[in-house]
Amino acid sequence: MVASSRRSRRFRAIAIAVAAVAAAGGGLLPASTVPAAAGEVFRPQLVTVDTPTRADKDRLVALGLDLTEHAGHDYVEVVLHHAADAERLRSAGLDWQVRIPDLVQRASDVNAANRAYAAATEASPLPSGRDTYRGLADYHTDLDRLASQHPGLVRKFALPYRSLEGKQVYGVEIADRVDAVDDGRPVFLMMGLHHAREWPSGEHAVEFAIDLARNHGHDARITALLKKARVIVVPVVNPDGFEKSVNDGRLVDLRTVDEGGTGSILATPGNAYKRKNCRIVDGHAPLAGECGLASSPGGFGAGVDINRNYGGSWGGPGAAAEPVHATYRGAGPFSEPETRNIRALVSGRQVTGLISNHTFSNLVLRPNAVAPDTIGPGGQPVGDPPDEAALKELGDRMAAQNGYASQHSWELYDTTGTTEDWSYHATGGYGYTFEIGPDEFHPPFPEVVAEYLGTGPYAGKGNREAYLLALESAADPRAHSVITGKAPAGATLRLKKTFATPTWTGVIQDTLDTTMTVGAGGSYTWHVNPSTRPLVKARQTRVVSSEPLERRTYTGTTAPTQSTDSEFTVDRDADLLEVALDWPTPDDLDLRVLRRNADGTLTEVGASAGSVGEKERVLLENPARGGYVLRVENWASAAPSWTLTASLFDTTAQETGGLVENWTLTCEKNGTVLERVPVVVDRGGRAKADLKSCAKKWSGG
């Protein structure tokens, strides 16, 4: 998962890759150099295609090229694999600039950097000491080793659904007395490699597992956490796609074969940048070898984006309906075995917190995945999550450890059918996405080390500390719920709930079904998620007062490629600052809002850069007093006149919806239900359920 909404961010995001290629004799090339000169071999390239209008974007999409997720209102970044790809752009009348002239060279440079690091490093500072990326077999070996070296603490297990190519998906469970699986402790889930090319996401997940296991009994904080909670780590959610990506990516080798400097290509990127799984035809498993052969170079075309395939809000904004697109959502919600695995895992455990790791952009993302004023399938605004304050507080604390930005998922771009779209709203367990690293899907391995352990002002913190904070939250009963009571020793207690989960186009049925075993003392304590799902809880929306506290209007004309600044001062307390940009033509302008600091510098606090025909608007909640700069930017339009309006408002909170749900708690003996009771419990609350009828029947039966 990657995003870049404006040009400045795009340039920063590729700076390291471009610098590496330039150092090897490459550099930025004008579009006129594409395709390669006669006699030269065309290398895969990363280019930025100018798409100033919606029609340009539609024309580009229709070409069927390898579109990346680096895109904004006036550009899309594309991988050109052949000279014919460049010719298709030219024939379509599209302009572009070459950003990375040779992706094969870039991959080779990364591999060379990894070889040099491994040669110079006896053991990295990572918990495992690993000094290079793992392959799929390496993950399996490490999980086996972890379980064998830490009996009673680590248990390896297989998830229920094999991949489309028949691979078993494995995870490890880590806890003090790990084999007492039904003892009522809360569960924290860590995942990696939903997207095949995002290699650091799996590395961080498995390193965290190794970190916990090796420090149990030596680090007081970790030892205490593993007594309070269980940790489940699934480092490779998408084994088919990852195997293709890492095997092809690690083969690229442009080392000289003799002193004369002749370069030999042992492989092209192939599937090195594959994103999706191995679903070639909806409803059918791939034939032997079909996934690797069917994928175009780079692996962009084939498969389902499994992080758009989860059931919650499936089929909505930010998920493509056509298989050729990078974010193809699949034939239906949970159509893929990879998402069904995670669904089964979360539905069968009380997962009170989870992190899904991805690359890149240095972000900690929290629900919701679509903007709060988006009208959902039910005809009402989606609003903010009912737990927004707590989700933000934890997200901010985690981001303070790694230097990432903490924000809603929708602030990156709208997405639906993602892990937290479903897991948070179906269970109430807090969920986050980490976008690891600033620049690349799989950068040189030293950057993986740096992101995990932290560098500079974050040295000794990094994602490791952020993960520990997430685990502490998952273990904290103030962030979930607790059910206590008395029941017969040895009885099986079951919490179950069946409900309809809305997709963007209908509903699916979900069932949460978890168990625990009552201990010898006859008392139990069960850490669970709240009985009422966030999806049906009252949502907070803001109603803006009809009259502004203050309003100021500006007019002007901005020449192409130029910007115009206007000044606005917030001199009173207000709940909302709205800045709206309008113009009378179908051109495309952008809007930025910057706050003036005490030293005169400017800090961007909001931006809007929609597509052609979409007028721009920035909303700032509780704006700080002081001076603001309202910047109108014109990247490519003629020179339309515009009107800019800045307004301060008071707002009132309004709740929409609001149901109360219950768990159904049953007490069972050998599969026979002896007692059934409803339990209502809120987040941070405790409910008592003494199962007296079960006790009577137990002793009499």
3-state secondary structure 197-248: CCHHHHHHHHHHHHHHHHHCCCCHHHHHHHHHCEEEEECCCCHHHHHHHHHH
Average model confidence (pLDDT) across the chain = 86
pLDDT band at 410 (very low <50, low <70, confident <90, very high): confident
User: What does the pLDDT average to over 134-158?
Assistant: 98
Instruction: Please tell me the distance from the alpha carbon of residue 400 to that of residue 129, in angstroms, as a whole number.
Output: 26
Please state, as a whole number, how many other Cβ atoms lie within 10 Å of the Cβ of residue 292.
20
Model pLDDT for residues 613-651, shown as the tens digit of each residue = 567 888 787 899 999 999 998 866 777 789 999 999 887
Domain containing 629 — which CATH number?
2.60.120.380
What one-letter code names the amino acid at 126? L
For residues 334 and 446, membership in a common domain is answered with yes
* Concatenated DSSP letters of 305-346: -GGG-SSTTTTSTT-BSSTTSTTB--SSTT-SHHHHHHHHHH
Model pLDDT for residues 190-202, shown as the tens digit of each residue = 999 999 989 999 9
pLDDT band at 76 (very low <50, low <70, confident <90, very high): confident
Residue from 353, 358, 451, 445 nearest 401 by CA? 451
Residue 582 lies in a domain: yes
What backbone torsions phi and psi does residue 188 show, to the nearest 5 degrees? -110, 130
Instruction: Please tell me the distance from the alpha carbon of residue 162 to that of residue 306, in angstroms, as a whole number.
Output: 14
Of the residues 53, 68, 102, which one is the last residue of a structural domain? 102
Residue 39 lies in a domain: yes
Domain containing 84 — which CATH number?
3.30.70
pLDDT at 31: 31
For residues 228 and 375, membership in a common domain is answered with yes
Q: In angstroms, how far is CA 245 from the centroid of its own chain? A: 19
Domain containing 695 — which CATH number?
2.60.40.1120
Residue 264 lies in a domain: no
For residues 410 and 291, membership in a common domain is answered with yes
pLDDT at 629: 97
What backbone torsions phi and psi does residue 592 show, to the nearest 5 degrees? -125, 145
For residues 327 and 428, membership in a common domain is answered with yes
For residues 22 and 125, membership in a common domain is answered with no
Model pLDDT for residues 378-397, shown as the tens digit of each residue = 777 888 899 999 999 999 99
Q: Which position has the higher pLDDT, 36 or 367?
A: 367
Model pLDDT for residues 15-73, shown as the tens digit of each residue = 323 233 233 333 222 232 333 444 456 777 888 899 887 577 768 866 767 666 555 55
Residue 414 lies in a domain: yes
Model pLDDT for residues 438-466, shown as the tens digit of each residue = 877 898 999 999 999 999 999 999 999 99
Instruction: Please tell me the distance from the alpha carbon of residue 272 to that of residue 532, in angstroms, as a whole number.
Output: 43
Residue 25 lies in a domain: yes
pLDDT at 5: 36
* Concatenated DSSP letters of 522-586: SEEEEEE--SS-TTTSPEEEEEEPSS-SEEEEEEEE--TTEEEEEEEEE-S--SEEEEEEE-SSS
Of the residues 40, 72, 102, which one is the last residue of a structural domain? 102
For residues 678 and 576, membership in a common domain is answered with no
For residues 55 and 177, membership in a common domain is answered with no
Domain containing 170 — which CATH number?
3.40.630.10
Instruction: Determine contact, residues 635/557, Cβ cutoff 8 Å.
Output: no
Q: How many structural domains does the chain have?
A: 4
Domain range for residue 97? 7-102
Catalytic (active-site) positions: 435
Q: Which position has the higher pLDDT, 612 or 46?
A: 46
For residues 633 and 586, membership in a common domain is answered with yes
Of the residues 477, 498, 519, which one is the last residue of a structural domain? 477
Q: In angstroms, how far is CA 166 from the centroid of its own chain? A: 26
Residue 262 lies in a domain: no
pLDDT at 374: 82
pLDDT at 40: 55
Residue 266 lies in a domain: no
pLDDT at 99: 80
For residues 215 and 355, membership in a common domain is answered with yes
Of the spans 67-71, 92-96, 219-223, which averages the highest pLDDT? 219-223
Residue 619 lies in a domain: yes
Residue 234 pairs in a beta bridge with 191
pLDDT at 251: 76
For residues 26 and 127, membership in a common domain is answered with no
**Token pair of 541, please?**
């929306």
Model pLDDT for residues 528-552, shown as the tens digit of each residue = 999 999 988 876 666 667 789 999 9
Listed in sequence order, the residues at least 6 apart from 287 whose beta carbon sits closer than 8 Å to its beta carbon are none
Instruction: Please tell me the distance from the alpha carbon of residue 305 to that of residue 418, in angstroms, as a whole number.
Output: 10
For residues 14 and 158, membership in a common domain is answered with no
User: What does the pLDDT average to over 652-669?
Assistant: 85
Helices (H), 92-192: 103-120, 136-149
Residue from 308, 241, 240 nearest 273 by CA? 241
For residues 450 and 492, membership in a common domain is answered with no
Q: Is the pLDDT of residue 268 over 70?
A: no
